[in-house]
Amino acid sequence: MRVLTVAADRPGAYPTIGSALLEAPDGATVAIAAGEYAETLELTGRSITLQAEAGATVVLDGDGADWPTLRAVDGELTLRGLDVRAGDNLAISVDRTVLTVEKCRVGSRTRPAISVHASTAFTVDGCTVTGAETGIVVEGASGRILDTTVTEIAGDGIVVALGSDPLIRGCTITACGGRGVYVYQYSRPELTDTEIARTGADGIGVAHGSTPVVRRVNVHDTRGSAMSFAPGCGGQVEGCRTDNTGQPAIAIADGATVEVIEKAAARPAESGGPLEELLDDLDGMVGLPEVKAEVHALVDEIQVNEWRRSAGLTVGGVSHHLIFAGAPGTGKTTVARVYGKLLKALGVLPHGGFTEVSRRDLVGQYIGHTAEKTSAVFEKSLGGVLFIDEAYTLSRSAGTGGDFGQEAIDALVKLMEDHRDEIAIIVAGYTAEMDDFLAANPGLASRFSKTIEFGNYSAEELLLITDRMVAGGDYLLDPAAGPPLTAYFDRIAHGANFGNAREARRLVEGMRKAQSQRLRSLGRMPTTDELRSLLAADVLSAAGS
């Protein structure tokens, strides 16, 4: 794979992203050094990855242009770790393009931040979408929006239209002037394990014959109903919670056929209800037996303390701040989200929201800026979980800008002391580097109650994760594909990056790509079974065999 480096002040590197793209072959990765790039990019029929260099803050700013900051047609575009901004146009716009956006921050002023149209597959994972007229628009496309925060949106947070059927999972959608999610034009999305709050209209609006599946979604503090279904719409609502919304909480118009499955969400924690459901979700994750045991022990301690407090007995102080140590892709972010929801179910935190940040979200560019940014992120996260990924990059010993990172650590220590019962902070990173992070401030280690170690997944666990990803995408794995899958994970079992669930995700994406190429070569419209089937040949192609 060709890698081209962009760095305006580095001899031998490309000075701009555009100049690198002019010479980049298909399949190339453009690695971008820290800086602000006032560029707009249009790609047609290209397969390109644009990513920030490790630890770099990269801003791609299209303000002032009359076209999108990033536009792609008939190709494949992957974006990692970028801050993509637009003025009065779209930030990211794709047509008939396989789009992957990971760990990015995306915003616009008067148009949608991300628009996906007529694409066979897309993924928005671990991103923050903010400050746009509409957050994400999906039209006639299939894909996934995972672990993403959509906030401070003038209109609707996420719009699903033209028969789209994306999976929206583990997201937080807040502070929208319109609806949190608007589903219309015969669309069939699945919304699961998502929080929707502080919307100027309905939390979820469904219209024009759409049939969404809504599972374990928490909707609260909305001016309109938590969910509204127009005539002719259908779908399923299962195990959802609503609080402080317009009435009725679930508004189903005459002529709508919606199945509402009530679970025991209103029961108190001591008799089951949401607490037990969340623990079941945790236990249902692949692997991580030690992590699950640690979280169960924390829940038991918190629950017993609440019972002691109710009985008038003495209760010692308990810190809810944790250290998650381990390699990327071992489930730390997912467990952190569940932990926040558990704290809400236990009555420890008011809403259990989840905010994920990294160094670039906390560290400023001049003296005093860092404390301001850190305080703003902290205050936004009050009442929920603040998850700081790769927290060790803030310490001086990490060698990524020292003093300003140290300023963020010092500010966090003070804020944690001033608001000790109002937030749960989880810092995550490699085990050895997290030891250096804790040494960065004398009061830092005492603020965290426990370190939970996340081990790598075994080959068998990665196989199970792959099976779940395949099923979650509405695919069927041909029985003949089992042996090459097993052989692949056995082959990489001793590699440096083995044990990372992202390897399973990369493999599944490669299988889908191979299937698409295979089906396009048929010269006819595939059958439904063919569209769902992943064959051994697809596995071998994705695995590089």
- CATH number for the domain spanning 449: value is 3.40.50.300
454 closest CA partner among 308, 333, 371? 333
Give pTM, 2 decimals: 0.53
Contacts of 535 (CB under 8 A, 6+ apart): 478, 480, 481, 515, 518
Of the residues 432, 454, 476, the one at which a domain ends:
454
- 176 and 193 assigned to the same domain: yes
The rounded distance, in Å, linking the Cα atoms of 545 and 517 is 16
- 463 and 450 assigned to the same domain: no
- 490 and 372 assigned to the same domain: no
* CATH classification at residue 211: 2.160.20.10
- 166 and 235 assigned to the same domain: yes
Residue 391 is which amino acid? A
The rounded distance, in Å, linking the Cα atoms of 487 and 495 is 14
Contacts of 399 (CB under 8 A, 6+ apart): none
Residue 231 is which amino acid? P
Classify burial at 39, counting beta carbons within 10 Å of its beta carbon; exposed 0-12, middle 13-18, buried 19 or more.
middle
Classify burial at 13, counting beta carbons within 10 Å of its beta carbon; exposed 0-12, middle 13-18, buried 19 or more.
middle
1 closest CA partner among 544, 363, 545? 544
15 closest CA partner among 29, 28, 32? 32
Of the residues 454, 482, 499, the one at which a domain ends:
454
Judge if the upstream peptide bond of residue 248 is cis by omega within 30 degrees of 0: yes
CA angle at 464 for the pair 460 and 467, rounded to the nearest 5°:
140
Which value, to the nearest 10 degrees, does the dihedral of the CA atoms of residues 330, 333, 335, 341 take?
-170
Structurally, the chain folds into a number of domains equal to: 3
Report the Cα 143 to chain-centroid distance in Å.
13
Identify the bridge partners of residue 72 per DSSP, sorted by sequence position. Answer: 43, 94
Of the residues 454, 472, 496, the one at which a domain ends:
454
- 171 and 281 assigned to the same domain: no
What's the domain range around 130?
Answer: 3-261
- 273 and 245 assigned to the same domain: no
Q: What is the pLDDT along the chain (545 residues), one digit of tens a residue?
A: 699 999 999 999 999 999 999 999 999 999 999 999 999 999 999 999 999 998 899 999 999 898 999 999 999 999 999 999 998 999 999 999 999 999 999 999 989 999 999 988 899 999 999 999 999 999 999 999 999 999 999 999 999 999 999 999 999 999 999 999 999 999 999 999 899 999 999 999 999 999 999 998 999 999 999 999 999 999 999 989 899 999 999 999 999 999 998 743 333 333 345 788 888 888 888 888 888 888 888 888 888 887 877 777 776 666 788 888 888 888 888 898 888 888 888 878 877 778 888 888 888 776 667 888 888 888 888 888 889 888 888 875 444 444 577 788 888 888 887 777 788 889 888 888 888 788 777 777 778 878 898 887 777 777 888 888 888 788 888 888 878 888 887 777 666 555 577 778 888 889 999 999 999 998 889 888 889 889 989 989 888 75
- 84 and 155 assigned to the same domain: yes
Provide the pLDDT for residue 270: 38
Asked if 224 and 248 count as a contact pair (C-beta separation under 8 A), the reply is: no
Asked if 256 and 232 count as a contact pair (C-beta separation under 8 A), the reply is: yes
- 291 and 385 assigned to the same domain: yes
Q: Of all helices (H) and strands (E), which one includes residue 237?
A: strand 234-238
The rounded distance, in Å, linking the Cα atoms of 150 and 155 is 11
The rounded distance, in Å, linking the Cα atoms of 225 and 458 is 45
- 47 and 174 assigned to the same domain: yes
Residue 92 is which amino acid? I
- 394 and 323 assigned to the same domain: yes
- 487 and 438 assigned to the same domain: no
Provide the pLDDT for residue 466: 84
Give the whole-number percent of the chain exceeding pLDDT 70.
Answer: 93
Identify the bridge partners of residue 387 per DSSP, sorted by sequence position. Answer: 356, 426
82 closest CA partner among 69, 101, 96? 101
The rounded distance, in Å, linking the Cα atoms of 44 and 71 is 8
- 327 and 448 assigned to the same domain: yes
Asked if 519 and 526 count as a contact pair (C-beta separation under 8 A), the reply is: yes
DSSP string, 409-435: HHHHHHHHHHTTTS-EEEEEE-HHHHH
* CATH classification at residue 533: 1.10.8.60
Asked if 160 and 180 count as a contact pair (C-beta separation under 8 A), the reply is: no
